[in-house]
């Protein structure tokens, strides 16, 4: 039966949290009530990326984009859009400036500059239906690999494409596969293929979104890797915080088995491959390869020294190929369209040497103090400015940009002067940050850089497994000093000490968690030293974050005595009669900031 | 509270008593009891032949586990970077003030407990808090008491 229109309803975690499933039921009921159920189909899709505007839906074939849709809007949508044939203006995207509504998805700046490779199927396929994936050429790369290509040819193709590890390290996937296959042939021990979906970086959710919108792409990529390396067994190690993603993977594996695309004798060849899903339990360090494999074996996730690489002796001492979700999701398209196509995107020419440049695209989660938060995919080499100001739409409320943090706790903060830098593996590392898995957190003038450094160090102090001394003790010492600086008790020599400690950790820690841990501190000292000095010398916090160094004040000229602040003040520190100027009793004020949140006149500020 | 050992038995059998599935067993126990009772850990140790100290090591290593009972509506305040720059620490304090407990504690009526998590992965909604299975996004401190009231009234003990 042909439908005249399709409603593509986003069901990524962001939109589900905002009530996407309730919306789906309401839509179905309303369509039935109007007897339109045979004309208009409601399809739930994976994450469409524009998470800040959820729940979102796209109506095809016109490509009309509706955002922040509530169940109470449904009758209007059905009446106006589907019966009278005109878009519902109030649900169209307008942008932060509340300008003219933009009806079509392709015209919205957030989407216009993106280039979708990994997320090519987002919003197009129902992640719970393998038929949808097959209809968009799904599993044809696997079929091509199995029937037309030798394992060595696949590895050569991946190497030539310049695909580098999307989990953060940027190690060329082709070289890893080659080493793994070599180890297997030399030792004659069956290798395993592992997918790292333990996305631990705070402020990053690329992998979750890829799995939720297109789980079969990950499975297909893993199957191709397994065939190329010679593995029969695969694992996906996924965080337990991602129940929806896990459910979609389980469902996808089940369906792929039914279709003979996983399991024994795939596509009637003698290649067999099975995937098992293993859940993590909330330990950041388990994203590290040796810790992840220890955890797979049922041990606690503590890393070991990597004199011997896991690609040769990994899970149960078998050759183990570990790649990230996004890396695997790139594989099917490289096989289908060829390495030249992939290498043509991004920077450098990796065809002779995969280390030469960064090819392809990268998925980022653009979050923090930016107007358009969400998941984006851009070609490597795009500038930070294009990402933050063109796609992200700039900083909310006309505030000033201060820094962008990339690479999670292992990365660093980059200032305005670095905004025109190209985004690729090598440029970011050179600037003192790193690509990481793709979290990009934008910070405005109201963010304190010392506090941000303290935040990451406190995160890492909790997540350090404690096995090696430089990491365990180094982080604790750094945290003590940063706490002191934030409380206004810092000493000038603290900065030099932090730098020295950072260098020691870079040299001596056992695993990448420790060696990269000083990055947030070192990069903020490099680019925002004056903020450290303000805290230490003048006992001021320029961002207005560090409680001990700020006081809340009411602006005499702006306060109209509306009482909004007195109602939320939990310590009764704000006094004043109705319609008259209020004042804050600083001895009672606990500096929670609830008053600023509710003041509509911008009459409260920090100094 | 009496721990229903037959449930532990069922969980251990689900994984064929395999040692390498220790983490999965602990996760299932946490889901079943909302914490890891000592009896459950002992039973897992006995049935899988894993030394008790090793089970305890895993139970205390990972953040997902709790050795103390948590409230009926566990509150998880997301401390991801996006939430942090949007005021998550102050939001956490607002919950602590409202419920008169600290992070890691449970209210006397066993209804609420407060924990922090590293990142829930819905950064577009920052700052985010989950209460039980419900997600509350783009929260402000002013919303806190209304949220708590909603769950209390669901319990019919709006005191």
Any CB–CB contact under 8 A between A284 and chain B? yes
- Please, which residues have CB within 8 angstroms of residue A265's CB and are 6 or more apart in sequence? A271, A272
Name the β-bridge partners of B126: none
Any CB–CB contact under 8 A between B14 and chain A? no
Number of CB atoms found within 10 A of residue A415's CB = 17
Any CB–CB contact under 8 A between A544 and chain B? no
Judging contacts by C-beta atoms under 8 Å, the chain A residues touching residue B104 are none
Q: How far apart are CA A1 and CA A15, in angstroms?
A: 29
Q: Which of B84, B120, B124 sits opposite A373 (nearest CB)?
A: B124
CA distances from residue B148 to A13, A279, B35 in whole angstroms, order as listed: 23, 31, 22
**Residue A422 DSSP class:** B
**Which ranges in chain B belong to alpha helices (H)?**
5-14, 22-33, 38-48, 52-61, 81-85, 88-99, 144-154
A180-219 residues touching B, CB cutoff 8 A? 199-205, 208
Yes or no: say if A92 and A99 are a contact pair by the CB < 8 Å rule: no
CA distances from residue A607 to A536, A553, A596 in whole angstroms, order as listed: 16, 7, 13
Residue B24 has a pLDDT of: 93
Residue B97 has a pLDDT of: 94
Yes or no: say if A287 and A198 are a contact pair by the CB < 8 Å rule: yes
Structural fold of domain A130-343: Rossmann fold (3.40.50)
Yes or no: say if A301 and B61 are a contact pair by the CB < 8 Å rule: yes
- Domain-wise residue ranges, chain A: 5-107, 130-343, 449-537, 551-606
Q: Which of A369, A408, A597 sits opposite B141 (nearest CB)?
A: A597
Closest residue by Cα to residue B65 from B102, B116, B27: B27
In this prediction, the answer to ipTM > 0.85 reads yes
Domain A551-606: CATH architecture, name and number where available: 2-Layer Sandwich (3.30)
Q: How far apart are CA B70 and CA A141, in angstroms?
A: 48
Percent of chain A at pLDDT > 90 equals 78
Average pLDDT of the segment spanning A505-525: 94
Question: What are residue A401's phi and psi, to 5 degrees?
Answer: -70, 135
Closest residue by Cα to residue B33 from B58, B11, B56: B11
Q: Which residue has the tokens 């039935």?
A: A32
Number of CB atoms found within 10 A of residue A499's CB = 14
- How far apart are the two ends of chain A, measured CA to CA in Å? 66
3-state secondary structure of A435: coil
In the structure encoding, which two tokens stand for residue A429, read together?
């590392």
Q: Which of B81, B94, B135 sits opposite A202 (nearest CB)?
A: B81
Question: Cβ contact (<8 Å) for B23 and A594?
Answer: no
Pairs of residues, one from chain A and one from chain B, whose beta carbons lie less than 8 Å apart: 152
Query: ∠ CA(A535), CA(A524), CA(A463), 5° rounding?
Result: 100
Which secondary structure element, helix H or strand E, spans residue A344, and what is its range?
A: none
Residue B123 has a pLDDT of: 86
CA distance B122 to chain A (A): 5
Judging contacts by C-beta atoms under 8 Å, the chain B residues touching residue A405 are 81
Residue B113 has a pLDDT of: 94
Q: How far apart are CA A160 and CA B28, in angstroms?
A: 44
Q: State the pairing for strand pair A40-45/A5-10.
A: parallel
Tens-digit pLDDT profile for residues B110-120: 899 999 988 88
User: A5-107, superfamily in CATH?
Assistant: Glutaredoxin (3.40.30.10)
Residue A1 has a pLDDT of: 56
- Domain-wise residue ranges, chain B: 5-61, 73-154
Q: Which of B57, B120, B121 sits opposite A300 (nearest CB)?
A: B57
Most A-contacting residue of B59, B82, B94 (CB-CB within 10 A), to test interface: B82
Distance of CA A16 to the CA centre of its chain: 17
Tens-digit pLDDT profile for residues B69-112: 888 899 999 999 999 999 999 999 999 999 999 999 999 998 99
Residue B157 has a pLDDT of: 52
Helix, strand, coil shares of chain A as percentages rounded to 5? Answer: 45, 15, 40
- The answer to whether residue B134 scores a pLDDT higher than 80 is yes
Cis-peptide, bond into residue A61, ω within 30° of zero: yes
Judging contacts by C-beta atoms under 8 Å, the chain B residues touching residue A54 are 124-125
- The answer to whether residue A492 scores a pLDDT higher than 70 is yes
Judging contacts by C-beta atoms under 8 Å, the chain B residues touching residue A192 are none
Yes or no: say if B150 and B156 are a contact pair by the CB < 8 Å rule: no
Question: Cβ contact (<8 Å) for A367 and B62?
Answer: no
Q: How far apart are CA B91 and CA A505, in angstroms?
A: 33
Any CB–CB contact under 8 A between B18 and chain A? yes
Question: Cβ contact (<8 Å) for A281 and B21?
Answer: no
- The answer to whether residue A67 scores a pLDDT higher than 50 is yes
Question: Cβ contact (<8 Å) for A592 and B141?
Answer: yes
Yes or no: say if A451 and A546 are a contact pair by the CB < 8 Å rule: yes
Q: Which of B23, B81, B122 sits opposite A295 (nearest CB)?
A: B23
Q: How far apart are CA A365 and CA A379, in angstroms?
A: 14
A438: left (phi over 0), alpha (psi -120 to 50) or beta: left
A105-144 residues touching B, CB cutoff 8 A? none
Q: Which residue of B has its CA nearest to A407?
A: B81
Residue B38 has a pLDDT of: 94
Question: Cβ contact (<8 Å) for A205 and B119?
Answer: yes
pLDDT tier at A243, thresholds 50, 70, 90: confident
B33-72 residues touching A, CB cutoff 8 A? 57-58, 61-65
CA distance A368 to chain B (A): 5
Closest residue by Cα to residue B12 from B66, B50, B56: B50
In the structure encoding, which two tokens stand for residue A364, read together?
């980022």
Any CB–CB contact under 8 A between B121 and chain A? yes
Residue A32 has a pLDDT of: 94
- Please, which residues have CB within 8 angstroms of residue B79's CB and are 6 or more apart in sequence? A202, A459, B88, B89, B92, B116, B117, B118, B119
Domain A449-537: CATH architecture, name and number where available: Up-down Bundle (1.20)
A215: left (phi over 0), alpha (psi -120 to 50) or beta: alpha
pLDDT tier at A80, thresholds 50, 70, 90: very high
Most B-contacting residue of A12, A46, A276, A367 (CB-CB within 10 A), to test interface: A367
Q: How far apart are CA B145 and CA A501, in angstroms?
A: 43
- The answer to whether residue B158 scores a pLDDT higher than 50 is no
Yes or no: say if B151 and B73 are a contact pair by the CB < 8 Å rule: yes
Q: Which residue has the tokens 């006309």?
A: A398
CA distance A269 to chain B (A): 31
Q: How far apart are CA A476 and CA A501, in angstroms?
A: 11
Structural fold of domain B73-154: Glutaredoxin (3.40.30)
Judging contacts by C-beta atoms under 8 Å, the chain A residues touching residue B64 are 240, 281-282
In the structure encoding, which two tokens stand for residue A253, read together?
């594996």
Tens-digit pLDDT profile for residues A278-288: 999 888 899 89
**SS3 letters across A103-152:** CEHHHCHHHHCCCCCCCCCCCCCCCCCHHHHHHCCCCHHHHHHHHHCCHH
Most A-contacting residue of B27, B44, B51, B119 (CB-CB within 10 A), to test interface: B119
Of the CA atoms within 13 Å of residue A432, those in its CB half-sphere come to 20
Q: State the pairing for strand pair A552-554/A412-415.
A: unpaired
Q: How far apart are CA A213 and CA A400, in angstroms?
A: 34
Closest residue by Cα to residue A196 from A155, A232, A166: A166
In the structure encoding, which two tokens stand for residue A232, read together?
């029969």
- Please, which residues have CB within 8 angstroms of residue B27's CB and are 6 or more apart in sequence? A240, A279, A281, B64
CA distance A339 to chain B (A): 32
Tens-digit pLDDT profile for residues A20-62: 999 999 999 999 999 999 999 999 888 888 888 889 999 988 8
Yes or no: say if A17 and A216 are a contact pair by the CB < 8 Å rule: no
Cis-peptide, bond into residue A260, ω within 30° of zero: no
Q: How far apart are CA A184 and CA A187, in angstroms?
A: 5
Judging contacts by C-beta atoms under 8 Å, the chain B residues touching residue A52 are 124-125
Q: Which residue of B has its CA nearest to A396?
A: B86
Number of CB atoms found within 10 A of residue A567's CB = 12
Q: Which of B63, B64, B85 sits opposite A441 (nearest CB)?
A: B85
Question: Cβ contact (<8 Å) for B142 and A594?
Answer: yes
Residue A436 has a pLDDT of: 86
B99-118 residues touching A, CB cutoff 8 A? 117-118
Q: Which of B57, B64, B142 sits opposite A597 (nearest CB)?
A: B142
Q: Which residue of A has its CA nearest to B125?
A: A52
Of the CA atoms within 13 Å of residue A29, those in its CB half-sphere come to 10
Q: What is the overall mean pLDDT for chain A?
A: 93
In the structure encoding, which two tokens stand for residue A45, read together?
């899709």
Q: Which of B20, B119, B137 sits opposite A297 (nearest CB)?
A: B20
CA distance B3 to chain A (A): 22
In the structure encoding, which two tokens stand for residue A398, read together?
């006309």
- The answer to whether residue A443 scores a pLDDT higher than 50 is yes
Question: Cβ contact (<8 Å) for A241 and B142?
Answer: no
Q: How far apart are CA A574 and CA A570, in angstroms?
A: 10
Average pLDDT of the segment spanning A184-204: 93
Q: Which of A283, A284, A598 sits opposite B142 (nearest CB)?
A: A598
pLDDT tier at B1, thresholds 50, 70, 90: low
Residue B159 has a pLDDT of: 44
Most B-contacting residue of A22, A298, A371, A447 (CB-CB within 10 A), to test interface: A298
Residue A98 has a pLDDT of: 66
Q: Which residue of A has its CA nearest to B142?
A: A568
Q: Which residue of A has its CA nearest to B80?
A: A202
Q: How far apart are CA A30 and CA A449, in angstroms?
A: 50
- The answer to whether residue A89 scores a pLDDT higher than 60 is yes
Which segments of A243-314 are extended strands (E)?
A: 274-279
Q: How far apart are CA A198 and CA A201, in angstroms?
A: 9
Q: Which of A17, A202, A568 sits opposite B119 (nearest CB)?
A: A202
Q: How far apart are CA B151 and CA B159, in angstroms?
A: 12
Q: Which long-range contacts (CB under 8 A, 24 or more apart) does A347-353 make?
A: A347/A380, A347/A381, A347/A422, A347/A424, A348/A162, A348/A424, A350/A160, A350/A161, A350/A162, A350/A172, A351/A160, A351/A162
Question: Cβ contact (<8 Å) for B27 and A279?
Answer: yes
Tens-digit pLDDT profile for residues A94-140: 876 667 888 888 888 888 889 999 999 988 889 999 999 999 999 99
CA distance B5 to chain A (A): 22
Q: How far apart are CA A285 and CA A66, in angstroms?
A: 40
3-state secondary structure of A158: helix
């Amino acid at each position: 039966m042909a439908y005249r229109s399709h409603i593509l309803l986003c069901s990524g975690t962001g939109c589900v949290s905002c009530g996407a499933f309730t919306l789906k039921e309401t839509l179905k009921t309303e369509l039935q009530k109007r007897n339109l159920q045979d004309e208009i189909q409601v399809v739930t899709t994976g994450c469409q990326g524009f998470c800040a505007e959820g729940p979102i839906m796209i109506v095809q074939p016109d490509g009309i984009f509706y955002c922040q849709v509530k169940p109470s809007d449904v009758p209007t949508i059905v009446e106006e859009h589907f019966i009278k044939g005109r878009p519902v203006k109030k649900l169209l995207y307008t942008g932060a400036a509340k300008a003219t509504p933009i009806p079509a998805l392709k015209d919205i700046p957030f989407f216009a500059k993106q280039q979708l490779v990994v997320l090519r199927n987002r919003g197009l396929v129902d992640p719970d239906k393998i038929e949808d994936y097959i209809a968009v050429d799904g599993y044809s790369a696997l079929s091509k690999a199995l029937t037309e290509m030798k394992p060595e040819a696949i590895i050569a193709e991946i190497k030539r494409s310049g695909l580098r590890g999307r989990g953060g390290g940027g190690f060329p996937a082709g070289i890893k596969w080659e080493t793994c296959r070599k180890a297997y042939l030399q030792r004659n021990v069956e290798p395993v293929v592992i997918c790292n979906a333990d996305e631990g970086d705070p402020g990053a959710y690329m992998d979750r979104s890829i799995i939720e919108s297109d789980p079969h792409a990950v499975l297909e990529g893993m199957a191709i890797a397994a065939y190329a390396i010679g593995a029969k067994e695969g694992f996906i190690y996924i965080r337990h915080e991602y129940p929806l993603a896990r459910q979609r993977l389980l469902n996808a594996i089940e369906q792929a088995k039914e279709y003979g695309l996983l399991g024994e004798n795939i596509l009637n060849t003698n290649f067999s491959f099975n995937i098992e899903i293993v859940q993590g339990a909330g330990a950041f360090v388990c994203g590290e390869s040796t810790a992840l494999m220890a955890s797979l074996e049922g041990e606690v996730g503590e890393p070991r020294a990597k004199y011997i690489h896991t690609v040769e002796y990994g899970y149960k001492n078998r050759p183990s190929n570990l790649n990230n979700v996004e890396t695997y999701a790139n594989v099917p398209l490289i096989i289908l369209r060829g390495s030249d196509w992939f290498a043509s995107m991004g920077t450098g020419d990796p065809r002779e040497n995969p280390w030469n440049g960064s090819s392809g695209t990268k998925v980022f989660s653009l979050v923090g103090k930016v107007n358009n938060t969400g998941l984006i995919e851009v070609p490597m080499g795009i500038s930070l400015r294009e990402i933050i100001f063109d796609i992200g739409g700039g900083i909310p409320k006309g505030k000033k940009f201060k820094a962008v943090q990339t690479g999670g706790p292992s990365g660093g903060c980059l200032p305005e002067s670095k905004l025109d830098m190209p985004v690729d593996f090598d440029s970011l590392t050179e600037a003192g940050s790193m690509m990481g898995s793709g979290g990009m957190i934008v910070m405005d003038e109201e963010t304190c850089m010392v506090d941000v450094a303290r935040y990451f160090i406190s995160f890492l102090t909790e997540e350090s497994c404690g096995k090696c001394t430089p990491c365990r003790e180094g982080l604790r010492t750094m945290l003590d000093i940063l706490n002191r600086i934030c409380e206004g008790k810092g000493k000038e020599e603290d900065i030099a000490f932090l730098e020295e400690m950072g260098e020691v950790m870079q040299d001596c820690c056992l695993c990448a968690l420790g060696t990269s841990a000083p990055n947030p501190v070192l990069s903020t000292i490099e680019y925002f030293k004056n903020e450290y000095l303000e805290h230490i010398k003048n006992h001021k916090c320029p961002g207005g974050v560090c409680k001990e160094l700020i006081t809340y004040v009411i602006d005499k000229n702006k306060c109209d005595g509306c009482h909004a602040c007195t109602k939320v003040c939990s310590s009764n520190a704000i006094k004043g009669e109705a319609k008259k100027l209020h004042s804050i009793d600083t001895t009672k004020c606990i500096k929670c900031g609830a008053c600023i949140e509710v003041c509509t006149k911008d009459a409260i500020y920090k100094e | 509270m009496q721990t229903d050992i037959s449930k532990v038995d069922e969980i251990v059998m689900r994984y064929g008593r395999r040692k390498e599935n220790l983490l999965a067993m602990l996760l299932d126990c946490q889901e079943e009891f909302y914490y890891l009772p000592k009896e459950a850990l002992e039973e897992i140790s006995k049935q899988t032949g894993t030394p008790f100290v090793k089970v305890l090591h895993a139970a205390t290593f990972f953040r997902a586990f709790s050795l103390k009972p948590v409230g009926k509506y566990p509150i998880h305040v997301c401390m991801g970077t996006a939430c942090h720059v949007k005021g998550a620490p102050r939001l956490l304090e607002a919950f602590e003030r409202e419920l008169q407990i600290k992070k890691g504690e449970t209210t006397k009526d066993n209804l609420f407990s407060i924990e922090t998590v590293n990142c829930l992965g819905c950064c577009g909604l920052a700052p985010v808090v989950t209460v039980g299975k419900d997600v509350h996004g783009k929260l402000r401190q002013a919303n806190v008491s209304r949220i708590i009231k909603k769950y209390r009234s669901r319990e019919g003990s709006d005191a």
